[in-house]
Amino acid sequence: MTFRKYLVLAGVTVFGAAGDSMLSHGMKQAGNVSLRHLSNLFVALLNPWVAVGILLLLAFFASYMNALSWADLTYVLPATSLGYVLLALVAKFALHEQVSPLRWLGIALISGGVGFVAGGEALTSHGHHESPLLAKDARNGAPRSVPTGVER
């Protein structure tokens, strides 16, 4: 794991948490969306909170794809779940909401889960350990011979 990779995981965490909270705030302002009034959905997209939330979620998606290119799904998901902890801390210290003991327990469990997975290796799906150059070349060498860039 390089510093850059930790930055990518941090990006997944922060962009995801910020995007989700802005989106939900905006959707609460925009009101109900139902199957009968689908047009409300397009009105909702004009809400600035929803728009910025979507932009942040795009940034989240880019970092997420980046992380998935060099780490397992079952590594990236727990490793970036600190976003929920982040949301609770924002609720407590920025929005001054009450955070119940049960929620603190939830935060502790998530942090424990993150600690658990962070101690392990990031990539297992190709049967080799996360050891650098050989693995990279093996994975990137192959597609070069496929001119379309689409494998299989």
Partner 1 sequence: MKHVYTWGAIFAIVFASVVGDVLLAHAMKQVGDVHALVRRSGVWTAVRRILRNQNFVLGVAAMAVAFFSLLFALSWGDVSLVAPAAASLTFIGNAFAARIFLHERVDRRRWIAAALVAAGVALLAG
List residues near partner 1 by CB under 8 A: 4, 20, 24, 27-28, 31-35, 41, 44, 64-66, 68-70, 72-78, 81, 84, 88, 100, 102-103, 105-114, 116-117, 119-120, 124-126, 136, 139-140, 143, 148-151
How far apart, in whole angstroms, are the C-alpha atoms of residue 69 and residue 67? 5
Angle, CA 84 vertex, CA 71 and CA 26 arms, to 5°:
110
Instruction: State the nearest-atom distance from the C-beta of 122 to partner 1, in Å.
Output: 11
Distance of closest approach, residue 44 Cβ to partner 1, in angstroms = 8
Least gap, CB of 59 to partner 1 (angstroms): 15
Least distance between partner 1 and beta carbon 109 (Å)? 3
145 burial (CB, 10 Å; 0-12 / 13-18 / 19+) is exposed
Neighbouring CB atoms inside 10 A of 111's CB total 14
**Distance, CA of 14 to chain centre:** 8
